[in-house]
Amino acid sequence: MNFQSIASVESEKALLDLAFRKAREKGIEKNLKGNWLEIIRKKESLKIDIVKDTLVSRLEKIHGSFTHPKKLPEFYIKLMKLTVDFDEYKKSLASLGWAADKVRFFQGEYVRRIFKTTDRGKISELSRQFYGRIASVIKQIKGNLAFLEEARKIFRTYPDIKEMFTVCLYGFPNVGKSTLLNRLTGTKAETAAYAFTTKTINAGYLKVGDKKVQILDVPGTLARGERMNIIERQADLVMKELANMVVFVFDLSGYSGYSVKKQEQLYNNLGREKNVFVCVTKLDLTPPEILEEFKHKYYSVDELKEKIKEEFLKREADQPEVLS
């Protein structure tokens, strides 16, 4: 799923400016034939058509560049529900269709009325009315356009998650999850010495023969149940909904700011319905006596790599052969 190519959403003012400017520039048709009445009618209706075409095509383009919720995989719907007001999103998308229909309707209506009147002043009056009506329609979706532009910026941070064997790197903030992702997959996810560096999901891929395993680095979590913010909730979503294997990233060094005890509690609360493996980070910063105490309980990065491959191959072997 690619969320990078969604077109930017103009403000209502920019849309109207564009449509009216195009009508002014292109609506000057020189070779209109007929008597003065016919020429005025054609001129005004040409401008009205240009306004309609410009607005409808822009609105349709914006609508088309957002994937319709019905076509989205379940995981992305859940991610959207966490990160944007999903009902508002659906309403805003629908408002584009509503506005396009209204613009089409007024164009038909006013062109018809222009061609019915024989009064020059009335033709100008009808044109003005049309522009007023259109401006009012587009202004009514001002909030929806602004909402979609904000949603677009959030969607752009979504990773391109594929349906395949998936490992989730899970743990407290600042313990070294993104650093681990980079080491396992060669990705260049941002890392920094403070909590909540990762605000959305990073994806990397580990090669296993001619196949690949997807590794997702998620924001650090404080696992505070209902009090979790939307950044943390993404971690739970990936861990619970997507991961075939969870790697609990454990920092024994104390540099993350979270005690060993706290991290053990989080680990113990994970439940055993998931396949959870522990990987210890910052070995170079950890006192040897602590490493000694925990040495039978965790995997190093290299051991983890092998473990991931092993789990993936085990799972492949369990899958029934697909007959073609």
Contacts with Mg ion, residue ranges (CB under 5 A): 177-178, 197-198
Q: What Rg do the C-alpha atoms of the chain give, in angstroms?
A: 29
Residue with tokens 């395949």: 164
Burial of 8 (0-12, 13-18, 19+ CB in 10 A): exposed
How far, in Å, CA of 236 to CA of 14, rounded? Answer: 40
How far, in Å, CA of 287 to CA of 253, rounded? Answer: 7
Nearer to Mg ion, 45 or 256 (CB): 256
Nearer to ligand GTP, 79 or 111 (CB): 79
Residue 45 contact, options Mg ion, ligand GTP, none, Cβ 5-8 Å cut-off depending on partner type: none
Residue 306 token pair: 């092998």
CB neighbours of residue 35 within 10 Å: 8
Shortest CB 218 distance to Mg ion, Å: 8
Reference 80, options 71, 110, 133; nearest CA is 71
Residue 285 contact, options ligand GTP, Mg ion, none, Cβ 5-8 Å cut-off depending on partner type: ligand GTP
Reference 60, options 1, 7, 17; nearest CA is 7
Nearer to ligand GTP, 283 or 313 (CB): 283
Nearer to ligand GTP, 142 or 282 (CB): 282
Q: Are 190 and 197 in contact (CB under 8 A)?
A: yes
Residue 195 contact, options ligand GTP, Mg ion, none, Cβ 5-8 Å cut-off depending on partner type: ligand GTP
Nearer to Mg ion, 99 or 218 (CB): 218
| Nearest residue to the partner Mg ion, using Cβ | 198
**DSSP type of residue 299:** B
How far, in Å, CA of 241 to CA of 269, rounded? Answer: 17
Nearer to Mg ion, 45 or 281 (CB): 281
How far, in Å, CA of 237 to CA of 83, rounded? Answer: 12
Nearer to ligand GTP, 62 or 79 (CB): 79
Please report, as ranges, the residues that interact with ligand GTP according to CB under 6 A.
173-179, 191-193, 195-198, 219-220, 281-282, 284-285
| Nearest residue to the partner ligand GTP, using Cβ | 220
Shortest CB 288 distance to Mg ion, Å: 27
Residue 282 contact, options Mg ion, ligand GTP, none, Cβ 5-8 Å cut-off depending on partner type: ligand GTP
Shortest CB 197 distance to Mg ion, Å: 5
Residue with tokens 């403070």: 194
Q: Are 216 and 201 in contact (CB under 8 A)?
A: yes
Residue 204 contact, options ligand GTP, Mg ion, none, Cβ 5-8 Å cut-off depending on partner type: none
Q: Are 255 and 175 in contact (CB under 8 A)?
A: no
Shortest CB 304 distance to ligand GTP, Å: 13
Shortest CB 230 distance to ligand GTP, Å: 14
Residue 95 contact, options Mg ion, ligand GTP, none, Cβ 5-8 Å cut-off depending on partner type: none
Nearer to ligand GTP, 98 or 255 (CB): 255
Reference 283, options 205, 169, 173, 180; nearest CA is 180
